[in-house]
Each structure stands twice: as structure tokens, then as C-alpha cells.
A and B are shown apart, each in its own frame.
Chain A
Amino acid sequence: NAGVTQTPKFQVLKTGQSMTLQCAQDMNHEYMSWYRQDPGMGLRLIHYSVGAGITDQGEVPNGYNVSRSTTEDFPLRLLSAAPSQTSVYFCASSYSWGDNTEAFFGQGTRLTVV
């Protein structure tokens, strides 16, 4: 049982480049989300999805796109990378949303934009 799998683990981009961070879960969870972790800021919610075909914005959505075509996958797209998007990105999934259900996190993607 792999849980939540994120790829790649590390990435360096040049300003203006685009890329997709992959996230897959094998727990049949309906709820998936993307966070970024910055020093002194904790984890901030970028986008989330409560099921296939349904996505919504979190606290810091600008510069990112998401889609949810299957229950298992929730990719995060950077449209035109900027140095301010240098961060560690975590994908999470949970059985339900908005209650006490534990969220499971991937190992993270460390992104550097130069």
C-alpha cells in the first residue's frame, strides 16, 4: 500500500517555465489537497478537491492550476514559474473533508525556481 506518492522529489526550474507536480493516492480517498511549506509560514493550502471533477481554491492559489479527472490523481500545474514559488510542496488525501478525519501526506516535492 503506497499511500500518497509525489513525483518528482526535487526540481529546479527557470523563471517562466511550466511544469506539473504529480500526486497519486491508492486509498480511494475522495478529498485531496495541495499545500506549500515556507519557512515561518507553516503549510498553506493551494487548491483542494472533494472528488473527481470538483476542485476549489485554497489560501494561495495564484499561479497554480489543478484538475481531478480520477479519484487517484491530483496534479498541480505551475503555469509560468516565478522565484516566489520556490517552496516545498505537499500533496495530501483523506477519506472525507472538513471533519476529524486524518490527512495522509506525500513525502513532498522541493521546487527551486531560479
Chain B
Amino acid sequence: DQQVKQNSPSLSVQEGRISILNCDYTNSMFDYFLWYKKYPAEGPTFLISISSIKDKNEDGRFTVFLNKSAKHLSLHIVPSQPGDSAVYFCAAINRQLTFGSGTQLTVLP
């Protein structure tokens, strides 16, 4: 049973528009939530994180929102750029790092 779910395998967005990637989780014991970005033939790289006691964290073009009551988090990228095209993994921590299945984001020029 997947504790971290990314229900959209893919997302296409026009350059300059907003990209919204979604993630749901089932384990209320998760302490932190993270987003990792992965290009082909490379390992995942850390993008942004949020503590379970916060509801928003912003870093430049990237903002993560956490809705604990809905057990839902989202990553907003504004404005989207072609270089953002990658697979985005949502992950959560409760002693271990648990990943979702990933969403392939394609930003169209």
C-alpha cells in the first residue's frame, strides 16, 4: 500500500505558465515532506521541503503547500521554464524517506 501517491504520471505546461504537481499521503506520522527532481540518466536532486508544522514554503520560483487535514501537498512552479522538464518525486519522512511514483513534467516552449 503506497503511503505517498502521485496520481498524475504526466503533466504538460506552456512555458511561462504555472505548473502544479500534486501529492497525497496516508501516514499522519510523516514529519517532513520533500520534492526531488530527476533528469534522465541522473540521480534525483533535492528541490524543496516543508515541515509538517508549516503550510507553505517558498524558494524562488518553487513553492510547496501542505494541507494536513486533506493529507495533500502540492508543488507550484512559477513561471515554468523548459529546463524544468523532468520527473518530480514527492517524498515524506518518518524515520525513512518514502517516495511517490513521480510525475513527468514537460514544459513546452
Question: Which A residues are closer than 8 A to B by beta carbons?
Answer: 4, 33, 35, 40-45, 48, 58-59, 90, 92, 97-100, 102-108
Contacts and interface: CB of A to CB of B under 8 A. Distances in A.
B46 A102 contact: yes
B63 interface: no
Contacts of B25: none
B32 interface: yes
B97 A103 contact: yes
B96 to A, nearest CB: 6
Contacts of A92: 43, 97
A48 B89 contact: no
Contacts of B32: 99-100
Contacts of B74: none
A90 B38 CA distance: 12
A43 B99 contact: yes
A92 B93 CA distance: 15
Contacts of B4: 42
Interface of B: 2, 4, 6, 9, 31-32, 34, 41-46, 49, 51, 89, 93-102
17 contacts: A4-B43, A40-B9, A42-B100, A43-B89, A43-B99, A92-B97, A98-B93, A98-B95, A100-B49, A102-B34, A102-B49, A104-B43, A105-B43, A105-B44, A106-B43, A107-B42, A107-B43
A45 B98 contact: yes
Contact of A58 (B41, B51, B96): B96
Given A33-B97, A98-B96, A43 B9 contact: no
A43 B3 CA distance: 12
Contacts of A35: 99
B44 A100 contact: no
B46 A41 contact: no
Nearest to A91: B43
Given A33-B97, A45-B98, A108-B42, 18 more contacts: A35-B99, A42-B2, A42-B6, A42-B89, A43-B89, A45-B96, A45-B97, A48-B96, A92-B97, A99-B32, A100-B32, A102-B34, A103-B46, A103-B97, A104-B43, A105-B43, A105-B45, A106-B43
